[in-house]
Chain A
Amino acid sequence: MFALPALTVYVVFLVYPAVSSLWFSFTDWDGLSPAYNVVGLDNYARMLEDPVVLTAGKNNLIWSLVTIVFPVTLGLALALLLNGKVRAKPVLRLVFYAPGVLPLVSIASIWGWLYNPQYGAINSFLSLIGLGDLAQPWLGQDSTALWAVMVPAVWLRTGFPMLLYIAALQSIPAELYEAARVDGASRWRQFWHVTMPSLRSAHYIVLALSLIDSFKVFDMIYAMTYGGPGTATQVMGTWMYANVFQYYQAGYGTAIAVVITLIAIAVGIPYVRSQTRERAT
């Protein structure tokens, strides 16, 4: 009985919409009309023939790889740096974490201006230091647009792993390092044989959350390039949105959403399993 209010909220706001969304993925609902037809697995089969789904899937993979490897590595490096004896440590933590709390639309606007080919700071700076030949229409060409959006994504996503790693580093007993030093371990060996194993659970959390976050990317792409030029920066999230909300193909768009969710579940299972193991012990 005590669980009933929470369960009701859960069922009404989560389970019901999820199940009805799954249902719509088997229909040709346009998203506006009250009438629709059941089309079975047609929407899923259609995804296999949709060239934009291929582009979007590829972009998701590239995005996930880059926006996990760089922020996690940088976050760990910064955490190690800030865990030591560094002056102005609280200020630096704030500086590195600050981009993560800024509204994404603001970040997208700011970087959009920085990338402006004629008046943006990036091309102006390149010209100033004599590298004008490297100036590009960063967001206006297929070859650079996705990479250009990934730069602010890395910038704003570095702070979160940094904080998690700092917390994890502070929980490593100092005795382990003392013992390693007594055994003559260099700083590098201390890092590999004491620090890294002790950060195992932090790695799980950081990687799982980063992976899920990366795969459901939508906002940065939508705000900075709108999926363009053409469809060059479409990812599964923006393509789902385009179909559901712009093309009046809610059935097809929902099928894309279901696939995104299944992938997110697949990559989230190791994290959930690790958490359940911890709870069980």
Chain B
Amino acid sequence: MTGRSYTRRGFLALSSVAVTGLGISACTGASISGGGATAPASNKLRLFTYEDDTTIGSLKAQVKKFDEQNGTTTTIDSLPGSGAAQYPDKLRTELLGGSGPDVWRIWGGQIGAPFAKAKQAADLAPYYQKYGWDSSINTAAVQGMTFDGVKAGVPFTARALGAWYNKELLAKAGVTDVPTTYAELEEMNDKLVAAGITPCGLGGKYGWHIMRLFEYLLEHTAGPELHDRLLLGQDSWDRPEVVEAFTLFKKWQDKKWLPEGALGLDPADVGTWYVQGKVAYDIEGQWTETAAILAADKDPKDFGVFQLPTDQSPARHSGFVEGYMINANSGNKDKAAALLDFLLTPESQKAMQIGSSTVKGAEPDPATTPLAAEWAEKYGDSPFYTIQDQAFPKKEADQYFSIQSDLLQGSMTPAAAAEKMQEIVAAWAGN
């Protein structure tokens, strides 16, 4: 009896430990080896990125060229599609697992910052000096990859967001000229709705896509100076300009200027709707010409792009920086830097059809990407405000997206939204 009882308890205890182990080890996979020792040097490099099918081919071609010239073997892994919502998680997991890539692509601002802060990304100052990146790369973009004074990344694109539109649908609604004031933009939206066309294609899943509308509205109502101060937590969000921006945001949904049920739509789907003729325009960056228009075998002549009118001076658009970081624990930092320098030559940038290169001499080619070239010519020198999901850390950005969601569903008033935003930003900026 005693023996049987002992066995049963033992089995119960072991099973419980097993369940505990499976549960929490699967949940965290935690290891304190995140800091990890430097890996031995070799000729093998691994690059982690989020290129999709439309762009990864040209990146692979350039990397292959580099490998042939330098006797290296570079593996490229990509996690496309989810934007900044998931890619950093995967990267972080790899780094913690001790199998992190030698080089990774990343967004600037608060998305790249944690990797620099945790010293997972190497300080690239010696390579900036060695390869003269300070003089060959746009200075403002370098700032976007500099964290607490440490150049932990090298920028290769400075993206700008504008309204990319379907000419046929605008014509169908009787719109002959793109709007130059906010009032004209609203007027255009009304004409489109009257013609049975959904004006602006944005999706709320993950929060960051539909955020592009709110940040534009905030630039319109608050103006450049106040907008910048708000993003830095230097001014209260609980103010009329912010309330007005939230009011307009709700108005866009109520007047059906956004797709039905926008909050549940996936940006990966909605982002191409203007090309498919399902919506009139979308707020996108220059990448959309390659990723949506050319990938669908459409003629760029059937589409256009304009800067969203803010009625403010200077006229600004949303923008963000993307670049590469090098693993601080990589044994191949020199080779990784050489690879980045190769990718940052104007020739490589042009070959990869980077429509928003930070490299001098790599402006978009009007023959291959005419709309990106048009944007660069018209608005290339325009100042930009930091896109909001790079301005805030992920946690605060998610809280902000939650407010967007509550506001659009009518469970929160614009005034309450502004007040709640102030609480979130104050808690973050006060730290």
Residues of A at the B interface (CB closer than 8 Å) are 13-15, 17-18, 20-22, 24, 29-34, 112, 115-119, 136-142, 145, 216, 225-226, 228-232, 237, 240-242, 244-250, 253-254, 257-258, 260-262, 264-265, 268-269, 272-273, 275-277, 279-280
Query: Which of B16, B28, B85 is within 8 Å of A265, CB to CB?
Result: B16
CB atoms of A32 and B92 under 8 A apart = yes
B162 interfacial by beta-carbon distance below 8 Å: no
Most buried by B among A216, A229, A276: A229
Known: A21-B30, A225-B264, A261-B19. A31 touches B25 (CB 8 A): no
Q: Residues of A contacting B403 with CB < 8 Å?
A: 230
Q: How far is the CB of A146 from chain B (nearest CB, A)?
A: 12
Q: Residues of B contacting A241 with CB < 8 Å?
A: 27, 89
Q: Which parts of B218-276 form the interface with A (CB within 8 Å)?
A: 259-266, 269
CB atoms of B24 and A18 under 8 A apart = yes
User: Complex Cα distance A131/B88, Å?
Assistant: 43
Q: Residues of B contacting A268 with CB < 8 Å?
A: 15-16, 19
Q: How far is the CB of A30 from chain B (nearest CB, A)?
A: 7
Query: Which of A31, A139, A257 is within 8 Å of B261, CB to CB?
Result: A139
Q: Residues of B contacting A250 with CB < 8 Å?
A: 28, 30
CB atoms of A18 and B21 under 8 A apart = yes
B405 interfacial by beta-carbon distance below 8 Å: yes
Q: Residues of B contacting A258 with CB < 8 Å?
A: 24
B34 interfacial by beta-carbon distance below 8 Å: yes
CB atoms of A254 and B30 under 8 A apart = yes
CB atoms of A261 and B20 under 8 A apart = yes
Q: How far is the CB of A276 from chain B (nearest CB, A)?
A: 4
Q: How many residues of B are counted as interface, with CB atoms below 8 angstroms from the partner's CB atoms? A: 64
CB atoms of A33 and B117 under 8 A apart = yes
A-side interface mostly: helix
Known: A32-B114, A230-B402. A257 touches B262 (CB 8 A): no
| Interface residue stretch chosen among B5-13, B130-138, B343-351 | B5-13
CB atoms of B28 and A140 under 8 A apart = no
Query: Which of A15, A244, A272 is within 8 Å of B15, CB to CB?
Result: A272
CB atoms of B411 and A142 under 8 A apart = yes
Q: How far is the CB of B334 from chain A (nearest CB, A)?
A: 24
B168 interfacial by beta-carbon distance below 8 Å: no
CB atoms of A117 and B17 under 8 A apart = no
> B293-327 toward A: CB 8 Å interface, digit per residue (1/0)?
00000000000000000000000000000000000
- The 5 A-B pairs at the shortest CB distance, nearest first, are namely A137-B261, A140-B264, A117-B261, A261-B23, A139-B264
Q: Residues of B contacting A229 with CB < 8 Å?
A: 204, 263-264, 405, 409
User: Complex Cα distance A279/B404, Å?
Assistant: 55
User: Complex Cα distance A276/B18, Å?
Assistant: 15
Query: Which of A228, A257, A262 is within 8 Å of B204, CB to CB?
Result: A228
CB atoms of A228 and B207 under 8 A apart = yes
User: Complex Cα distance A2/B7, Å?
Assistant: 19
CB atoms of B25 and A14 under 8 A apart = yes
Residues of B at the A interface (CB closer than 8 Å) are 4, 7-8, 11-12, 15-25, 27-32, 34-35, 85, 88-89, 92-93, 95-96, 114-115, 117-120, 198, 204-207, 259-266, 269, 278, 393-395, 398, 401-406, 409, 411
User: Complex Cα distance A230/B402, Å?
Assistant: 4
CB atoms of B260 and A33 under 8 A apart = no
Known: A31-B96, A226-B206. A118 touches B261 (CB 8 A): yes
Q: Residues of A contacting B19 with CB < 8 Å?
A: 261, 264-265, 268
Q: How far is the CB of B86 from chain A (nearest CB, A)?
A: 9
CB atoms of B262 and A140 under 8 A apart = yes
Nearest CB in chain A to that of B260: its residue: A117
Q: Residues of A contacting B117 with CB < 8 Å?
A: 32-33
CB atoms of A145 and B264 under 8 A apart = yes
Q: Residues of B contacting A253 with CB < 8 Å?
A: 27-28
Nearest CB in chain B to that of A36: its residue: B32
Q: Residues of B contacting A31 with CB < 8 Å?
A: 30, 34, 92, 96
Known: A118-B260, A245-B93. A34 touches B32 (CB 8 A): yes
Q: How far is the CB of A124 from chain B (nearest CB, A)?
A: 12
User: Complex Cα distance A30/B21, Å?
Assistant: 21
Most buried by B among A13, A139, A277: A139
Q: Residues of A contacting B20 with CB < 8 Å?
A: 18, 261-262, 265
15 extra interchain contacts, Cβ-Cβ under 8 A, other than A32-B34, A230-B404, A240-B27?
A: A17-B21, A24-B28, A33-B34, A117-B261, A137-B260, A137-B262, A228-B206, A228-B405, A229-B409, A231-B402, A237-B27, A245-B89, A246-B394, A258-B24, A268-B15
User: Complex Cα distance A116/B31, Å?
Assistant: 40
Q: How far is the CB of A85 from chain B (nearest CB, A)?
A: 40
User: Complex Cα distance A242/B28, Å?
Assistant: 11
Q: Residues of B contacting A261 with CB < 8 Å?
A: 19-20, 23-24, 27
Nearest CB in chain B to that of A249: its residue: B395
Query: Which of B25, B265, B405 is within 8 Å of A21, CB to CB?
Result: B25
User: Complex Cα distance A256/B17, Å?
Assistant: 17
CB atoms of A260 and B398 under 8 A apart = no
Q: How far is the CB of B133 from chain A (nearest CB, A)?
A: 26
Nearest CB in chain B to that of A254: its residue: B28
